[in-house]
Amino acid sequence: MVTENRTKPNISKFLTTELFLAVFLLLIIVFLQYMTTGFFELNNIMSILNRFSYVLIAAVGMNLIIITSNIDVSAGALISVVCIVIAAVGKTGANILVLMPIAMLTGAALSFINSLFITKLKIPAIVATLATTQLFTGILPIVVEGSIYDLPKSFTWLSFDAKIFGIIPSSILLSLIVAVLAIVLMKYSKFSKKLYAVGNNKNGARLAGINVDKTVILAYTIAGALFGISGTIIATASQRVTTTMGSGLEMTFIAAVVLGGTSIAGGSGKILGTVFGALILSIISPAINYLGISPDWSDAIQGVIIIISVVIAALRFVKKKKAIKSLKPLEIAKAS
């Protein structure tokens, strides 16, 4: 008698967070198509793409930090500092080739300081970055009185002149390049393995020979450079730069990461999920306006999204833990 060894296809393998987000995004688009007027006009789509570009770039950086089981609530205030710094430089007539590196260096330096507080002084990430938020927002009004205005045309080149086919913001191409590079980095590099290891178990990572402090410092520094790029996109959209241009954006970045499936506890998460998360959040804010709902609801909806995403992630973690526990007796039996 011949017995066939048939392996059943594992459907759960295909039911990924990214698939659910893609379906959710499609449902939002269909809903807006029938429930709004003018939402899909060219100007609005380009505005959404521009917002998506800077949210995505910063969210990629936030993803690296959260994977290490840390967080950065100073990202918005840091971006405000970046905007003011490059506006001051831009006032001299400097172009994007000068402004972008300065923005990235400024962001990386400020984020590096955050990482030192966390790794060397052992201050919890939420406390350290909350303190630097207050520091950045407190210093800016002292240094700059309100805003830097009458900036030259060279300053706004990225937003107004650098368009693909004369329509699509070049910032969208920049964000996709960052996303693709991040996907490759997180899939193939040794650094990504260290990030996940640190996020899963710091002590275990240390025993495995990983320099935990160095890994966290690198994650924050890279994220800071990405915050700098986002700050450049935000600042160059106007010839007037204020001291509050990044205020509150940190919650949007965190929401994009958590919505994308990255565990807030660290140790797991994919860049592709963050791409979907950033796009969904970039659509929600303008969608609220087109639906005739008060803009005040935007933050509330964002908060609900974070709560739901965190609850789902927690349930998955519990389920995974139970699955691992149930496997232990079998493994012991096989070993014996």
Q: Please say whether the beta carbons of 228 and 106 come within 8 A.
A: yes
Q: Does the pLDDT value for residue 27 go beyond 90? A: yes
* Alpha-carbon dihedral sign for residues 46, 65, 300, 84: negative
Cα dihedral across residues 140, 253, 60, 240: positive or negative: negative
Residue 128 sits at the vertex; the CA angle it makes with 127 and 132, to the nearest 5 degrees, is: 115
**pLDDT, tens digit, 9 for 90 and up, residues 136-171:** 999 999 999 888 988 999 899 988 888 888 888 899
- Token digits for 308? 């739901």
| Mean predicted confidence (pLDDT) in 324-331 | 50
Spatial distance between the Cα atoms of 67 and 235, rounded to a whole number of angstroms: 28
Half-sphere exposure of 203 (CA within 13 A, CB side): 0
Q: In CATH, what is the architecture of 40-335?
A: Orthogonal Bundle (1.10)
Q: Which residues contact 80 (CB under 8 A, 6 or more apart)?
A: 136, 137, 140, 231, 243, 244, 245, 246, 247
**The tokens of 161 are what?**
């002149």
Runs of H (alpha helix) within the chain: 17-35, 42-67, 75-90, 96-119, 125-143, 157-160, 170-188, 190-200, 202-207, 212-235, 249-259, 271-290, 297-335
pLDDT band of 308, cuts 50, 70, 90? confident
Tens digits of residue pLDDT in 96-118: 999 999 999 999 999 999 999 99
247 closest CA partner among 89, 140, 156, 169: 140
Q: At 169, which helix (H) or strand (E)?
A: strand 168-169
Q: Which residues, 6+ apart, have CB-to-CB distance to 209 below 8 Å?
A: none
Measure the CA–CA gap between 36 and 293, rounded to whole angstroms: 12
Domain assignments of the chain as residue spans, ordered by start: 40-335
- Which has more pLDDT, 18 or 119? 119
Contact 307, 259 (CB under 8 A): no
Tokens 């070993």, residue? 335
Please state which of the ranges 169-173, 237-241, 288-292, 329-333 shows the lowest mean pLDDT.
329-333
| CA 12 from centroid of its chain's CA atoms | 27
pLDDT band of 332, cuts 50, 70, 90: very low
Average pLDDT of the chain, as a whole number? 87
Do the beta carbons of residue 69 and residue 194 sit within 8 Å?
Answer: no
Judged against a pLDDT cut of 80, whether residue 41 lies above it is answered with yes
